[in-house]
Amino acid sequence: MEKTVQLYEGKAKKVYATADENLCIVSYKDDATAFNGLKKGTIAGKGVVNNRMSNMLMQLLEKQGVPTHYVEELSDRETVVKKVKIVPLEVIIRNVSAGSFAKRYGVEEGIAFDEPTIEFSYKNDDLGDPLINTYHALALKLATKQEIETIKTYAFKVNEVLKNYFAALGVRLIDFKLEFGKLPDGTIVLADEISPDTCRFWDIKTNEKLDKDRFRRDMGGVEDAYKEIFKRVTAGE
Ligand code: ADP
Ligand code: UDP
Protein backbone atom coordinates (compact mmCIF):
# COMPACT_ATOMS: atom_id res chain seq x y z
CA MET A 1 0.00 0.00 0.00
CA GLU A 2 1.47 3.35 -1.02
CA LYS A 3 0.64 6.99 -0.47
CA THR A 4 -0.62 9.01 -3.42
CA VAL A 5 -1.66 12.63 -2.85
CA GLN A 6 -1.68 14.39 0.52
CA LEU A 7 -5.29 15.02 1.49
CA TYR A 8 -4.72 16.97 4.67
CA GLU A 9 -2.04 18.21 7.01
CA GLY A 10 -3.20 18.56 10.60
CA LYS A 11 -1.37 19.65 13.70
CA ALA A 12 -0.08 16.17 14.56
CA LYS A 13 -0.62 14.04 11.47
CA LYS A 14 -0.71 14.07 7.70
CA VAL A 15 -3.35 12.13 5.83
CA TYR A 16 -2.68 10.68 2.36
CA ALA A 17 -4.88 9.07 -0.26
CA THR A 18 -4.06 5.61 -1.61
CA ALA A 19 -4.97 3.72 -4.79
CA ASP A 20 -7.92 2.32 -2.82
CA GLU A 21 -10.52 5.05 -2.38
CA ASN A 22 -11.72 3.47 0.87
CA LEU A 23 -8.31 3.56 2.55
CA CYS A 24 -5.90 6.31 3.53
CA ILE A 25 -2.50 6.45 5.16
CA VAL A 26 -1.87 8.56 8.23
CA SER A 27 1.64 9.75 9.00
CA TYR A 28 2.40 10.83 12.58
CA LYS A 29 4.59 13.90 13.11
CA ASP A 30 6.63 15.00 16.13
CA ASP A 31 4.90 18.41 16.04
CA ALA A 32 3.02 19.30 19.18
CA THR A 33 0.46 22.03 19.73
CA ALA A 34 -1.68 23.08 22.65
CA PHE A 35 -4.30 25.70 23.48
CA ASN A 36 -5.91 25.53 20.04
CA GLY A 37 -2.56 25.87 18.24
CA LEU A 38 -1.29 28.88 20.23
CA LYS A 39 1.56 26.88 21.77
CA LYS A 40 3.77 25.07 19.29
CA GLY A 41 6.73 22.75 19.70
CA THR A 42 8.32 19.43 18.88
CA ILE A 43 8.45 16.28 20.97
CA ALA A 44 11.22 14.04 19.59
CA GLY A 45 9.94 10.54 18.90
CA LYS A 46 6.30 11.39 19.64
CA GLY A 47 5.07 10.37 16.18
CA VAL A 48 6.48 6.88 16.61
CA VAL A 49 5.03 6.47 20.10
CA ASN A 50 1.58 7.73 19.10
CA ASN A 51 1.42 5.68 15.92
CA ARG A 52 2.43 2.40 17.54
CA MET A 53 0.49 2.95 20.74
CA SER A 54 -2.68 3.99 18.96
CA ASN A 55 -2.48 0.94 16.72
CA MET A 56 -2.02 -1.44 19.64
CA LEU A 57 -4.96 0.07 21.51
CA MET A 58 -7.22 0.06 18.45
CA GLN A 59 -6.47 -3.65 17.92
CA LEU A 60 -7.25 -4.36 21.57
CA LEU A 61 -10.54 -2.46 21.25
CA GLU A 62 -11.49 -4.31 18.06
CA LYS A 63 -11.09 -7.60 19.96
CA GLN A 64 -13.38 -6.22 22.65
CA GLY A 65 -16.10 -5.36 20.15
CA VAL A 66 -15.42 -1.71 19.32
CA PRO A 67 -15.06 -1.24 15.53
CA THR A 68 -12.14 1.00 14.56
CA HIS A 69 -10.54 2.49 11.45
CA TYR A 70 -7.30 0.50 11.96
CA VAL A 71 -6.14 -1.62 9.02
CA GLU A 72 -2.35 -2.11 8.99
CA GLU A 73 0.79 -0.57 10.46
CA LEU A 74 3.20 0.21 7.61
CA SER A 75 6.14 1.60 9.54
CA ASP A 76 7.10 3.41 12.75
CA ARG A 77 5.10 6.45 11.77
CA GLU A 78 2.67 5.31 9.09
CA THR A 79 -0.57 3.34 9.23
CA VAL A 80 -3.26 2.35 6.76
CA VAL A 81 -6.73 3.21 8.05
CA LYS A 82 -10.24 3.02 6.66
CA LYS A 83 -11.15 6.38 5.23
CA VAL A 84 -14.05 7.84 7.17
CA LYS A 85 -16.11 10.96 7.24
CA ILE A 86 -15.21 12.33 10.65
CA VAL A 87 -18.20 13.14 12.88
CA PRO A 88 -17.26 16.69 13.98
CA LEU A 89 -17.59 15.94 17.68
CA GLU A 90 -14.73 15.47 20.14
CA VAL A 91 -15.93 12.95 22.67
CA ILE A 92 -14.35 13.35 26.09
CA ILE A 93 -14.61 10.76 28.84
CA ARG A 94 -13.37 11.51 32.34
CA ASN A 95 -12.74 9.25 35.32
CA VAL A 96 -10.92 11.84 37.46
CA SER A 97 -11.11 15.65 37.54
CA ALA A 98 -8.38 17.42 35.56
CA GLY A 99 -7.75 20.07 32.93
CA SER A 100 -10.71 22.07 31.68
CA PHE A 101 -13.16 20.20 33.96
CA ALA A 102 -11.27 21.28 37.09
CA LYS A 103 -10.96 24.82 35.77
CA ARG A 104 -14.59 25.17 34.63
CA TYR A 105 -16.10 23.93 37.89
CA GLY A 106 -13.47 25.35 40.23
CA VAL A 107 -12.35 22.03 41.72
CA GLU A 108 -8.92 20.54 42.27
CA GLU A 109 -7.46 17.97 39.92
CA GLY A 110 -7.40 14.34 41.02
CA ILE A 111 -10.93 13.84 42.36
CA ALA A 112 -12.01 10.31 41.34
CA PHE A 113 -15.61 10.16 40.09
CA ASP A 114 -18.04 7.40 41.11
CA GLU A 115 -19.11 7.13 37.46
CA PRO A 116 -17.29 8.25 34.30
CA THR A 117 -18.58 11.42 32.62
CA ILE A 118 -19.02 12.21 28.94
CA GLU A 119 -19.02 15.53 27.13
CA PHE A 120 -18.80 16.70 23.53
CA SER A 121 -16.97 19.53 21.83
CA TYR A 122 -17.82 20.77 18.37
CA LYS A 123 -14.68 19.99 16.33
CA ASN A 124 -14.17 23.37 14.71
CA ASP A 125 -10.76 25.07 14.95
CA ASP A 126 -12.11 28.51 14.00
CA LEU A 127 -14.50 28.41 16.95
CA GLY A 128 -11.94 26.85 19.32
CA ASP A 129 -13.77 23.51 19.66
CA PRO A 130 -16.60 24.81 21.90
CA LEU A 131 -18.40 22.56 24.36
CA ILE A 132 -21.71 21.38 22.87
CA ASN A 133 -24.66 19.35 24.14
CA THR A 134 -26.40 16.63 22.16
CA TYR A 135 -29.48 18.81 21.44
CA HIS A 136 -27.25 21.42 19.84
CA ALA A 137 -25.34 18.73 17.94
CA LEU A 138 -28.67 17.47 16.56
CA ALA A 139 -29.82 21.00 15.72
CA LEU A 140 -26.60 21.55 13.78
CA LYS A 141 -27.03 18.14 12.12
CA LEU A 142 -23.53 17.08 13.19
CA ALA A 143 -24.86 13.54 13.75
CA THR A 144 -28.19 11.73 14.11
CA LYS A 145 -29.74 10.65 17.42
CA GLN A 146 -28.90 7.03 16.63
CA GLU A 147 -25.29 7.91 15.78
CA ILE A 148 -24.90 9.84 19.03
CA GLU A 149 -26.28 6.87 20.98
CA THR A 150 -23.83 4.53 19.24
CA ILE A 151 -20.94 6.91 19.89
CA LYS A 152 -21.82 7.14 23.60
CA THR A 153 -22.06 3.37 23.95
CA TYR A 154 -18.69 2.85 22.24
CA ALA A 155 -17.02 5.67 24.19
CA PHE A 156 -17.97 4.16 27.58
CA LYS A 157 -16.91 0.72 26.35
CA VAL A 158 -13.52 2.15 25.28
CA ASN A 159 -13.20 3.58 28.79
CA GLU A 160 -13.91 0.25 30.49
CA VAL A 161 -11.42 -1.61 28.31
CA LEU A 162 -8.66 1.01 28.55
CA LYS A 163 -9.10 1.74 32.27
CA ASN A 164 -8.51 -1.91 33.08
CA TYR A 165 -5.72 -2.26 30.55
CA PHE A 166 -3.78 0.72 31.91
CA ALA A 167 -4.44 -0.17 35.55
CA ALA A 168 -2.57 -3.42 34.92
CA LEU A 169 0.38 -1.31 33.70
CA GLY A 170 0.36 0.82 36.86
CA VAL A 171 -1.30 3.74 35.08
CA ARG A 172 -4.46 5.67 36.00
CA LEU A 173 -6.52 6.66 32.96
CA ILE A 174 -7.70 10.13 34.00
CA ASP A 175 -9.51 11.30 30.85
CA PHE A 176 -9.28 11.10 27.08
CA LYS A 177 -10.67 12.39 23.79
CA LEU A 178 -12.06 10.20 21.01
CA GLU A 179 -13.15 10.91 17.46
CA PHE A 180 -15.53 8.73 15.50
CA GLY A 181 -16.12 8.51 11.77
CA LYS A 182 -18.60 7.08 9.30
CA LEU A 183 -17.79 4.46 6.67
CA PRO A 184 -19.49 4.79 3.26
CA ASP A 185 -22.26 2.40 4.44
CA GLY A 186 -22.93 4.61 7.47
CA THR A 187 -21.24 2.37 10.06
CA ILE A 188 -19.74 4.32 12.97
CA VAL A 189 -16.13 3.42 13.79
CA LEU A 190 -13.55 4.76 16.22
CA ALA A 191 -11.05 6.91 14.26
CA ASP A 192 -8.15 9.34 14.77
CA GLU A 193 -5.77 8.28 17.58
CA ILE A 194 -5.50 7.19 21.20
CA SER A 195 -2.16 8.35 22.57
CA PRO A 196 -0.47 10.49 25.23
CA ASP A 197 -1.54 13.47 23.07
CA THR A 198 -5.21 12.62 23.59
CA CYS A 199 -5.27 10.93 27.02
CA ARG A 200 -4.17 11.86 30.52
CA PHE A 201 -2.13 9.10 32.14
CA TRP A 202 -0.93 9.32 35.75
CA ASP A 203 1.37 6.81 37.42
CA ILE A 204 -0.76 4.92 39.96
CA LYS A 205 1.80 5.19 42.76
CA THR A 206 3.39 8.61 42.24
CA ASN A 207 0.73 10.50 40.23
CA GLU A 208 3.54 11.46 37.84
CA LYS A 209 2.08 12.71 34.55
CA LEU A 210 2.93 10.51 31.55
CA ASP A 211 1.22 12.56 28.84
CA LYS A 212 1.04 15.82 26.91
CA ASP A 213 0.29 17.88 30.04
CA ARG A 214 4.07 17.95 30.56
CA PHE A 215 4.29 19.90 27.28
CA ARG A 216 1.16 22.02 27.87
CA ARG A 217 2.37 23.03 31.32
CA ASP A 218 6.12 23.34 30.60
CA MET A 219 6.90 20.68 33.17
CA GLY A 220 9.96 19.25 31.39
CA GLY A 221 10.62 15.56 30.90
CA VAL A 222 8.20 15.47 27.97
CA GLU A 223 10.11 12.99 25.80
CA ASP A 224 10.82 10.77 28.80
CA ALA A 225 7.13 10.68 29.72
CA TYR A 226 6.20 9.51 26.20
CA LYS A 227 9.01 6.93 26.36
CA GLU A 228 7.86 5.68 29.75
CA ILE A 229 4.22 5.15 28.81
CA PHE A 230 5.33 3.52 25.55
CA LYS A 231 7.67 1.21 27.44
CA ARG A 232 4.84 0.06 29.68
CA VAL A 233 2.45 -0.47 26.77
CA THR A 234 4.98 -2.45 24.74
CA ALA A 235 6.33 -4.47 27.69
CA GLY A 236 3.44 -6.91 27.47
CA GLU A 237 3.45 -7.17 23.66
P1 ADP B 1 -6.03 18.21 13.62
O2 ADP B 1 -6.92 18.18 12.41
O3 ADP B 1 -6.85 18.43 14.88
O4 ADP B 1 -4.90 19.15 13.50
P5 ADP B 1 -4.37 15.81 13.21
O6 ADP B 1 -3.10 16.52 12.97
O7 ADP B 1 -4.35 14.63 14.09
O8 ADP B 1 -5.50 16.74 13.85
O9 ADP B 1 -4.93 15.44 11.79
C10 ADP B 1 -5.53 14.25 11.48
C11 ADP B 1 -6.88 14.53 10.86
O12 ADP B 1 -7.35 13.34 10.24
C13 ADP B 1 -7.93 14.96 11.88
O14 ADP B 1 -8.68 16.04 11.37
C15 ADP B 1 -8.78 13.71 12.05
O16 ADP B 1 -10.12 14.04 12.37
C17 ADP B 1 -8.68 13.08 10.68
N18 ADP B 1 -8.84 11.62 10.67
C19 ADP B 1 -8.51 10.73 11.64
N20 ADP B 1 -8.79 9.46 11.28
C21 ADP B 1 -9.29 9.53 10.02
C22 ADP B 1 -9.78 8.55 9.10
N23 ADP B 1 -9.80 7.25 9.39
N24 ADP B 1 -10.25 9.00 7.89
C25 ADP B 1 -10.25 10.31 7.59
N26 ADP B 1 -9.79 11.29 8.41
C27 ADP B 1 -9.33 10.90 9.62
N1 UDP C 1 -8.08 16.51 24.43
C2 UDP C 1 -7.59 16.28 23.17
N3 UDP C 1 -7.77 17.24 22.20
C4 UDP C 1 -8.42 18.40 22.44
C5 UDP C 1 -8.91 18.64 23.74
C6 UDP C 1 -8.73 17.66 24.71
O7 UDP C 1 -7.02 15.23 22.90
O8 UDP C 1 -8.56 19.22 21.52
C9 UDP C 1 -7.91 15.49 25.49
C10 UDP C 1 -6.89 15.89 26.53
O11 UDP C 1 -5.62 15.35 26.21
C12 UDP C 1 -7.44 15.26 27.79
C13 UDP C 1 -8.94 15.21 27.58
O14 UDP C 1 -9.14 15.35 26.17
O15 UDP C 1 -6.97 13.93 27.91
C16 UDP C 1 -9.69 16.28 28.31
O17 UDP C 1 -9.14 17.53 28.03
P18 UDP C 1 -9.67 18.85 28.72
O19 UDP C 1 -11.07 19.09 28.32
O20 UDP C 1 -9.42 18.78 30.18
O21 UDP C 1 -8.89 20.02 28.02
P22 UDP C 1 -7.46 20.66 28.21
O23 UDP C 1 -7.14 20.74 29.64
O24 UDP C 1 -6.57 19.77 27.42
O25 UDP C 1 -7.68 21.99 27.56
Segment 27-84, tens digit of pLDDT: 999 999 999 889 999 999 999 999 999 999 999 999 999 999 999 999 999 999 999 9
Q: Radius of gyration over alpha carbons of the chain, in Å?
A: 17
pLDDT for residue 36: 85
191 C-alpha to ligand 1 centroid (Å): 8
Ligand 2 atom, smallest distance to 36 CA = 8
Is 2 buried (19+), middle (13-18) or exposed (0-12) by CB count in 10 A? Answer: exposed
* Gap between the Cα atoms of 190 and 173, Å rounded: 18
pLDDT for residue 1: 87
pLDDT for residue 237: 73
Can you list the residues of the chain whose pLDDT is less than 50? none
Residue list, ligand 1 pocket, CB within 6 Å: 8, 10-13, 15, 24, 69, 81-84, 86, 179, 181, 191-192
pLDDT for residue 173: 98
Instruction: Answer yes or no: is the C-beta of 176 below 6 A from any ligand 2 atom.
Output: yes
Q: What is the pTM of this model?
A: 0.97
